[in-house]
Amino acid sequence: MDIQLLGINHRTAPLELRETLAMDGACVLALLRDIRGDAAVAEAALLATCNRTELYVATPDLPAAEAAMRRLFGRQAGDREALVATCAYLRSGEDAARHLLCVAAGLDSMILGEHQVLGQVRDAQSRAQEAETLGPLLYRLWSTALHTGKRARAETDIGMGAVSVALAAVSLAEHVLGDLRDRRVLLIGAGDTCRLVARHVADRRPSRLWVANRTVVRAAAVAEAFGGEAIGLEDIEGVLAEADMVISATRAPGFVITGDMVRRAVAGRDPRHLVLVDISVPRDIDPAAGAVEHVSLFSIDAVRTLVDRSLAHRLREIPRVDAIVDEECGKLLAWTRGHGATSVVRDLAERFERVRAEEVRRNLKHFHPEEEAYINRMTKTLINRLLRPPVTQLMSGMLSPTVESARLELLRELFALDHTTHPSQGGRGTA
Catalytic residue among 27, 50, 87, 194: 50
What is residue 259's predicted lDDT score, i.e. its pLDDT?
Answer: 95
What is residue 372's predicted lDDT score, i.e. its pLDDT?
Answer: 81
Report phi then psi at 298, rounded to 5: -115, 135
CA-wise closest residue to 128 among 57, 44, 7? 44
The reply to whether 178 falls in a domain is yes
- How far is 115 from 50, CA to CA, in rounded Å? 14
109 and 29 within one domain = yes
The reply to whether 334 falls in a domain is no
Q: Provide the terminal-to-terminal Cα distance of the chain, rounded to the nearest Å.
A: 20
176 and 151 within one domain = no
Q: Which residues contact 66 (CB under 8 A, 6 or more apart)?
A: 4, 6, 90
246 and 346 within one domain = no
The reply to whether 315 falls in a domain is no
Boundary (domain end) residue, out of 246, 279, 298 = 298
Domain region containing 402: 341-425
286 and 179 within one domain = yes
What is residue 350's predicted lDDT score, i.e. its pLDDT?
Answer: 83
226 and 265 within one domain = yes
Q: Which residues contact 38 (CB under 8 A, 6 or more apart)?
A: 64, 65, 68
279 and 172 within one domain = yes
115 and 185 within one domain = no
The reply to whether 305 falls in a domain is no
What is residue 368's predicted lDDT score, i.e. its pLDDT?
Answer: 80
- Answer yes or no: 329 catalytic: no
- Bridge partners of 208, per DSSP, are 184
- How far is 253 from 48, CA to CA, in rounded Å? 39
What is residue 431's predicted lDDT score, i.e. its pLDDT?
Answer: 24
172 and 149 within one domain = no
Boundary (domain end) residue, out of 101, 125, 155 = 155
Could you tell me the CATH number of the domain that includes residue 291? Answer: 3.40.50.720
What is residue 353's predicted lDDT score, i.e. its pLDDT?
Answer: 85
The reply to whether 331 falls in a domain is no
What is residue 424's predicted lDDT score, i.e. its pLDDT?
Answer: 33
At 8, which helix (H) or strand (E)? strand 2-9
DSSP letter (8 states) at residue 216? H
387 and 357 within one domain = yes
Count of the separate structural domains present in the chain: 3
375 and 254 within one domain = no
What is residue 421's predicted lDDT score, i.e. its pLDDT?
Answer: 38
pLDDT along the chain (431 residues), means of 10: 92 87 89 90 92 93 94 89 90 95 93 87 95 92 96 93 88 93 94 91 95 94 95 94 94 91 90 93 92 94 91 94 96 76 76 85 78 85 84 64 69 70 34 24
Could you tell me the CATH number of the domain that includes residue 70? Answer: 3.30.460.30
